[in-house]
């Protein structure tokens, strides 16, 4: 699996490492774990998507869950 940095069209997720699999799917892993409260709220550290748009949505959802768990 090549470890390419994805171009998200101007959207950046500084704490996420974006990769593309040999099959063409996009994956992202958060470089630092979420807090325990964020994980308890359902935030996942690794997400995937069929394309960059879908991947960016998945990342944003996880960050939103984490923010809600932290009371932001």
Q: pLDDT tens across 1-51, in order?
A: 444 444 444 456 789 999 999 999 999 999 999 999 999 999 999 999 999
Residue 4 forms part of a structural domain: no
3-state secondary structure the chain: CCCCCCCCCCCCCCCEEEEECCCCCEEEEECCCCCHHHHHCCCCCEEEECCHHHHHHHHHHHHHHHHHHCCC
Residue 5 forms part of a structural domain: no
Average pLDDT over residues 49-58: 96
Our count of domains for the chain comes to 1
Residue 44 forms part of a structural domain: yes
Would the pTM of this model clear 0.95, i.e. be above it?
no
| Owning domain of residue 47 | 16-69
């Amino acid at each position: 699996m090549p470890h390419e940095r994805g171009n998200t069209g101007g959207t950046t997720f500084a704490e996420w490492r974006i990769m593309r699999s040999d099959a063409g799917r996009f994956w992202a892993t958060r470089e630092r774990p979420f807090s325990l409260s964020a994980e308890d709220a359902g935030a996942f550290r690794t997400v995937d998507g069929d394309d960059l748009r879908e991947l960016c949505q998945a990342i944003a959802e996880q960050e939103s869950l984490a923010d809600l768990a932290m009371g932001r």
